[in-house]
A = this chain, B = another copy of it.
Amino acid sequence: MTDDPNTWFEKTVAQLNDPSNQRVWSVIVSLFGDMGQDPADRIGGSTLTQIISPIGIKPEAIRVALHRLRKDGWIDSARSGRNSVHFLTASGRAQSAQAATRIYDRKPDIPDKWHVLLAEDGAGQQTLDEVLLTDTHVAIGRHCALGHGELPPHCDDLLAIDARDFTVPDWLKRRVFPTDLVSACATLLSDLEHLGPVPQTLTPQQIATVRTLIVHRWRRVVLRHLDLPLSFHPTDWPGEACRDRVFAVLDCLPKPNLPALRD
């Protein structure tokens, strides 16, 4: 019985699903980012339901989430005969594509050009807070940010240090790789290690469900931290092992052509 694809599928969904942190709109963003990136991609409403409902999400919750994503300008919908189809807007596609460069990077280059920006209460703090809204900088203290690449513009009231090398204390490693991030990463790694061999005979919808669950969890690990120099990694950081395992499993689950599925 353990070789039955349906049994494997049910066990895997149960293993990978995290009902405690299941924002439906975010699951849909993961799904479209993974399998609906082409401008021509249209995913039918019932295909979407077939992929998402095994996770335990009700059709009514999917409708509410799609409504929200349309309102946010991320997704648009159209009628196709008696059915509805859904697709990324230009803006949603652009934002997905930007995140994808990090989510799907199998061997990210750690930048070698870093800078530290320093403010003081009342001197540059507002500038620093704005810099920290970008995804190129991470807070390493209340008044201090670490970033890569060129200096951001308009930061004349910050001390900018062109940094060559770092010696990093444990309290700072823990701040940039907080316990819940390390734990989310370690749990994903462990869950993936327990999947067993992927059956060859899954349906395209089943493949899509498992891909969505994996990409969704990995996305929430990888987008929560910068690719910092190794000196910032806590010894228990399982990021690289987890990344390797994510792509090893995804490679066994080739992307199905969802728009081609009959709705």
Residues of chain A having any CB pair with chain B under 8 Å: 116, 118, 120, 123-124, 140-144, 151, 156-172
Is the Cβ of B171 less than 8 Å from the Cβ of A166?
no
5 contacts between A and B (CB under 8 A): A123-B172, A157-B171, A159-B166, A161-B161, A163-B164
Alpha-carbon distance between A141 and B123 when the two chains are bound, in angstroms: 11
A196 to chain B, nearest CB (A): 43
- Given the known inter-chain contacts A118-B144, A140-B118, A141-B118, please indicate yes or no for A151 contacting B167, CB distance below 8 A: yes
Tell me how many chains of this kind the complex includes.
2
A114→B232 CA distance, assembly (Å):
20
Assuming the contacts A140-B118, A141-B143, A143-B141, asked whether A160 and B164 have C-beta atoms less than 8 A apart, the reply is: no
* Chain A at the B interface: SS class: strand
Q: Which residue of B lies closest to A157 (CB)?
A: B169
User: Chain B residue with minimal CB distance to A142?
Assistant: B120
Contacts of A143 in B (CB 8 A): 141, 143-144
18 further A-B contacts with Cβ under 8 Å, apart from A123-B172, A159-B167, are A116-B116, A116-B161, A118-B144, A123-B169, A123-B171, A124-B169, A124-B171, A140-B159, A143-B143, A143-B144, A144-B144, A156-B169, A158-B169, A159-B166, A159-B168, A162-B165, A162-B166, A164-B164
A165 closest partner in B (C-beta): B162
Q: How far is the CB of A137 from chain B (nearest CB, A)?
A: 15
Rounded to whole Å, the gap between the CB of A113 and the closest CB of chain B is 10
CA distance A209 to B118 in the complex (A): 46
Minimum CB–CB distance for A176 against chain B, Å: 10
Which residue of chain B lies nearest to A163 when distances are taken between CB atoms in the complex? B161
Question: Of all chain B residues, which has the CB nearest A170?
Answer: B157
A121 to chain B, nearest CB (A): 8
How far, in Å, is A141 (CB) from chain B's closest CB? 6
